[in-house]
Structure 1
Amino acid sequence: MELQSAKTETLKEGAGQRRHEEEEGGGQRRHEEGGGGGGRQKAPMKRRQEEERVSPPKKLVIDHSGKVASHYNSLQEVGLAVRSQSRIFFMRNFNNWLKSVLIGEILDQVRGSGSPKVSVLDLGCGKGGDLLKWRRGGINHLVCADIAGVSVDQCQSRYEDMKKKSQINEKLFSAQFINADCSKEVLSEKLDDPELLFDICSCQFVYHYSFESEQKADMMLRNACERLKPGGYFIGTTPDAFELVKRLEASDSLSFGNEVFKVSFQSKGFYPLFGCQYHFSLEDVVDVPESLVYFPLFEHMAKRYNMRLVVKQRFSEFFEEKVKKENHRSLMMKMMALQPFPCEDGGRQATDSRGEYDHAEEHCVRAGVQLPLGTLSRSEWEAASIYLVFIFQKMS
């Protein structure tokens, strides 16, 4: 099995410092022009006009919550046969495997700490893609919340269907489904049980939508963390801002990507801590505005809720560590998380584009590995390697 690794470079810093200096400088100029200490003061109208000239214009904050909800509400539910024809079929399986490993290991840690019953908050549940993971994990209660009402309805339908088909002797977890913008609304006020505390909050490929503003990012964190038990975990996956900026700066335009994904910015060289917007499109699955999550700031904000960072790994690092374990390799084969190269029994690769599997051939030669090899196409690796895994734990 093989994966191309990419070095993480530091996001361009200084945005906050420059903004702070500008605000400090503006304040100093206004103080001098206002005439303190017995100097002759200028007329109020004239002084106000001069203040307006030196004050930097306030940035217009655009709320993309409606666009995000509308996009996911409009996605059609398709069956396995259709999904298997997708250009990113194996990448989606790879991401799903990674989430399965993350969730499984966290559940083991929660049970290892002595929790007899496990309650989980799925923050940004979508259509319920992780319901089976929670079922396999044997949890007791699940709260699913998402901004897209249609997705929440589909998630609930999946759960009800799962309930009908469950074995007579199987005790399936109880569940509550909430349609809410978790970056604006207080989720605890919507819980059926106002005293409910969670062992785990899972936020998969969602948190970056909240980084449009400090208020939204903080509300999302509040919803994720304030109802966690001491020792509970906040886990998730999100794009790596450092990697996105590195690729943008290396590009000769305001966008980068390949045949499966594209990322477009409006400018480069200056990256505000909140509201640094870009547009992300991934085949037919995602086509929405997103925001960079500056991780050191994310980590700092989490401390407000008594959370400490336990793990932060790029997908490549997480993969290379977890694939060493036999049970994770076995699950990877079962979930078809990597594509055999070359295809056997007359099968076809995910793409016929030239150069998409050169890295696999080179790896075989360099490492002396025998074919077939488990891999993804170059374009899928490039898309998957944008993301990182994070795990926070609530301090006692």
Structure 2
Amino acid sequence: MELQSAKTEMLNEGGDVEGGGQKSQMKRRQEEDDGRVSPPKKLVIDHSVKVASHYNSLQEVGLAARSRSRIFFMRNFNNWLKSVLIGEILDQVRETGPQQVSVLDLGCGKGGDLLKWKRGGINHLVCADIAGVSVEQCQSRYEDMKKKSHVNEKIFNAQFINADCSKEVLSEKLDDPEQMFDICSCQFVYHYSFESEQKANMMLRNACERLKPGGFFIGTTPDAFELVKRLEASDSLSFGNEVFKVSFGSKGFYPLFGCQYHFSLEDVVDVPESLVYFPLFEHMAKRYNMRLVLKQRFSEFFEEKVKKEHHRSLMMKMMALQPFPCEDGGRQAADSRGEYGHAEEHSVRAGVQLPLGTLSRSEWEAASIYLVFIFQKMS
């Protein structure tokens, strides 16, 4: 009854999410309740195996190959954004004084954030992911990182768990059954769990139930409202550009759980995903005594954080933006001049001299699908 009332409440707040309009959707539900209309039967498919198989099959490539990627700068931009998010949250955790910092990386993948946790000086890390091959590669990266560290350099200890965190209780797999965490980080992963209410809740339970009071649940996920807006503006059931494509099965009806779409991004992602209706996500998090601290689109987060000198410096170090135009005969990520028209327009409008840092138009369009979220556990 609690979830049903929440659905009704959220439909009243933003009725377009679960239908072509609030009134028509509510009318249909009333007719279903009266027995006049049979609700459409939907074949429920579990995409977990497909997702795990996709990420297990991704080949590990070297720096040289990654630098030739069409989305090289976008990936660096996303990495910079995560670095800023993680760094600022670690600072907040330590505001209460020196302590042993423990982190859960939920959906760790191949370990792309290991260096961020190392630079953050944490003490303990638990990495969990549905893809067994990815977990093995993550553990291998960690072992290499330890070998290459200096004699007096302190490296966090770590545990690696291969598990479907939308189905299995993670606390039962911890080496230390009493382990509690200061931070749970869930980067570009949580949306897979919104395939069903049960999966979304289990993922949330794994993220939040072992957090200490005052601990943080942070992450990045696609913005459902932005995806639906772009779909409704499209003449077809898909939208995208030369680096990404999003395809839906239909328009006008967007269930709160299991609203599937297919997302492909260059050679990195090609899997089914689910819309995360954020008001419902926030409502569910309250069950675990979590309050929303921040929800920002990538563009908003970038515009705010880039104002700080140390974030700008990190951005240059991580090559998170591409110089436009390229200097010294360098090659732009995209061949089309139109891919950088926005940079030229900004230069003229803001009176900024070229070259300036940017992403190609296609990369901006892909990156701007996502949002950042921060929840904190109440005492």
Give the match for residue 166 of structure 1: 149
Count, aligned residues:
374
Q: Distance in 2 between matches of 1:2 and 1:384?
A: 35
Q: Distance in 1 between matches of 2:282 and 2:118?
A: 30
Verify the 8 A CA contact 2:127 2:159 in the aligned structure 1.
yes
Per-residue displacement from partner, 1:208-238 (whole Å, max 9, x unpaired)? 0000000000000000000000000000000
Instruction: Summarize the Cα distance change of 1:270–1:168 in structure 2 as closer, same or farther, 3 Å threshold.
Output: same
Verify the 8 A CA contact 1:312 1:389 in the aligned structure 2.
yes
Verify the 8 A CA contact 1:140 1:173 in the aligned structure 2.
yes
Per-residue displacement from partner, 1:17-64 (whole Å, max 9, x unpaired)? xxxxx9999999xxxxxxxxxxxxx9999999999x964354221110
Does residue 254 of structure 2 align to residue 260 of structure 1?
Answer: no
**More deviation in 1-10 or 287-296?**
1-10
Verify the 8 A CA contact 2:223 2:370 in the aligned structure 1.
yes
Per-residue displacement from partner, 1:194-221 (whole Å, max 9, x unpaired)? 0000000000000000000000000000
Instruction: Summarize the Cα distance change of 1:3–1:195 in structure 2 as closer, same or farther, 3 Å threshold.
Output: closer
Instruction: Summarize the Cα distance change of 1:250–1:124 in structure 2 as closer, same or farther, 3 Å threshold.
Output: same
Per-residue displacement from partner, 1:106-161 (whole Å, max 9, x unpaired)? 00000012251100000000000000000000000000000000000000000001
Instruction: Summarize the Cα distance change of 1:210–1:26 in structure 2 as closer, same or farther, 3 Å threshold.
Output: closer
Per-residue displacement from partner, 1:156-191 (whole Å, max 9, x unpaired)? 000001111111101100000000000000000000
Q: Which runs of 5+ in 1 are unaligned?
A: 14-21, 29-41
Give the match for residue 19 of structure 1: none
Equivalent residue in structure 1 for 2:231, among 248, 265, 287:
248
Per-residue displacement from partner, 1:65-96 (whole Å, max 9, x unpaired)? 00000000000000000000000000000000
Instruction: Summarize the Cα distance change of 1:48–1:208 in structure 2 as closer, same or farther, 3 Å threshold.
Output: closer
Alignment of 1:122-271 (within 5 A): 122-271=105-254
Give the match for residue 21 of structure 2: 27
Verify the 8 A CA contact 1:3 1:381 in the aligned structure 2.
no
Q: Distance in 2 between matches of 1:124 and 1:378?
A: 29
**More deviation in 106-115 or 248-257?**
106-115
SS of residue paired to 1:215: helix
Q: Distance in 2 between matches of 1:43 and 1:350?
A: 46
Instruction: Summarize the Cα distance change of 1:80–1:242 in structure 2 as closer, same or farther, 3 Å threshold.
Output: same
Give the TM-score, by structure 2 length. Answer: 0.91
Please report how far the alpha carbon of residue 8 of structure 1 lies from its aligned counterpart in structure 2 after TM superposition. Answer: 22
Verify the 8 A CA contact 1:2 1:373 in the aligned structure 2.
no
SS of residue paired to 1:357: helix
SS of residue paired to 1:43: helix
Instruction: Summarize the Cα distance change of 1:48–1:384 in structure 2 as closer, same or farther, 3 Å threshold.
Output: closer
Please report how far the alpha carbon of residue 330 of structure 1 lies from its aligned counterpart in structure 2 after TM superposition. Answer: 0.1
Q: Distance in 1 between matches of 2:18 and 2:60?
A: 52
Instruction: Summarize the Cα distance change of 1:157–1:44 in structure 2 as closer, same or farther, 3 Å threshold.
Output: closer
Verify the 8 A CA contact 1:314 1:389 in the aligned structure 2.
yes
Instruction: Summarize the Cα distance change of 1:55–1:141 in structure 2 as closer, same or farther, 3 Å threshold.
Output: same
- Structure exhibiting the larger radius of gyration computed from Cα positions: 1
Give the match for residue 75 of structure 1: 58
Q: Distance in 2 between matches of 1:167 and 1:58?
A: 60
Instruction: Summarize the Cα distance change of 1:179–1:251 in structure 2 as closer, same or farther, 3 Å threshold.
Output: same
Per-residue displacement from partner, 1:250-307 (whole Å, max 9, x unpaired)? 0000000000000000000110000000000000000000000000000000000000
Verify the 8 A CA contact 1:4 1:381 in the aligned structure 2.
no
Verify the 8 A CA contact 2:128 2:163 in the aligned structure 1.
yes
Verify the 8 A CA contact 1:276 1:292 in the aligned structure 2.
yes
Give the TM-score, by structure 1 length. Answer: 0.87
RMSD, aligned α-carbons: 7.4
Verify the 8 A CA contact 2:20 2:253 in the aligned structure 1.
no
Instruction: Summarize the Cα distance change of 1:314–1:349 in structure 2 as closer, same or farther, 3 Å threshold.
Output: same
Q: Which runs of 5+ in 2 are unaligned?
A: none
Verify the 8 A CA contact 1:2 1:360 in the aligned structure 2.
no
Verify the 8 A CA contact 2:18 2:253 in the aligned structure 1.
no
Instruction: Summarize the Cα distance change of 1:7–1:225 in structure 2 as closer, same or farther, 3 Å threshold.
Output: closer
Please report how far the alpha carbon of residue 241 of structure 1 lies from its aligned counterpart in structure 2 after TM superposition. Answer: 0.2
Verify the 8 A CA contact 1:236 1:391 in the aligned structure 2.
yes
Identity of aligned residues (%): 92
